Amino acid sequence: MKMRLVGFLAFALLSISILSYGVNGSVFADSHNIAPVTVTSDVNIIANGGNVKISGNIKNYDASSITAGAVTYVIITPDEKGRVGIGQLLPKSDGSFEFSFVAGGPLWKTNGDYIVEVKYGADKNTTIINYVGGEPVVSTPPPPPPVDTTPPPPPPVDTTPPPPPPVDTMPPPVDPKCGKGTVLENGICVLEKPPVVDDKPGCLIATATYGTELAPQVQLLREIRDNTLFSTSSGTTFMSGFNTIYYSFAPTVSDWERENPMFKEMVKTAITPMLSTLSIMSLANEGSEAEVLGLGISVITLNLGMYIAAPALVGFKVSKYLKSRK
């Protein structure tokens, strides 16, 4: 009886071990098959002007890690030769992310499968949306209807003479004369409004550095300028003053880059840290004065530290070291 009880207990322990191994193996297999970066779209087919929402998740994301960075995405044309959109965003603390865009515009020229490629570090994944609102399909027009060659009957002739025009006995109104700096509007003199300048020239130095306006770095600068800075009055005022200074030397620098490849590489090395800090501006909500102003001051301060304070500190330390050796 005792041997039979011992055998029953051994059989029960063996069964529990086998079942727990199978469960652990299936759980491990399920977690192992998850891709490093997952990405999905809320729609598979989209028409012109429709909104597309992309969501995804980063496996084993650690926001406190020094390697944690931003998620970048690129929207690629069906022939895989062009780019119609580019962006960058920070994932949430749990590794999830979400962004949206409008399908349509001058770059969405043809129908077909557009590829949304999402990258995080060395890992990437893609999803496909079928765009059906691009270039219309040309079909054979229907034959024209037969032309009726019968001439229409002549219209009846009205022999009644027209009434004489009314005589206006009121003197014509006299417009007031407006002084300098004012214009006549609705019969009164108002202050003359300054002309509205809608000038969004190209990023000359970045375009010459990266070879094309479709480069991701150039597209990032355009997105920050058009969608973030120009959406607020403070950003518009800053860009007005910045353009005055920037375009006084940018054409000359871009010409030097095209003529001298070594100078071009030097410029690329110099502006790469600045482009990295400018991605912070994409965190500001469109039209928010406080966020654009706060993040803008942070970016300016960071660049002053990298390009002025840090070199000055290094120079001071080197000078102090050389003096101490004498």
Where in the sequence of the chain do the CATH 2.60.40.1930 domains occur? 37-131
Among 3.40.50.720, 2.60.40.1930, 3.90.1200.10, 2.60.40.10, name the CATH number for the domain at 37-131.
Answer: 2.60.40.1930
Buried/exposed 180-198: b ≥16 CB within 10 Å, e otherwise = eeeeeeeeeeeeeeeeeee
Q: How does pLDDT run across 233-266, given as a tens digit for each residue?
A: 887 887 788 888 888 888 898 889 888 989 988 8
On whether the CB atoms of residues 37 and 58 are closer than 8 A, the answer is: yes
Average pLDDT per consecutive 10 residues, the chain (326 residues; last block may be shorter) = 58 59 45 79 91 92 82 92 90 92 89 92 90 61 78 82 78 71 77 56 79 83 79 81 84 88 87 79 75 79 80 84 79
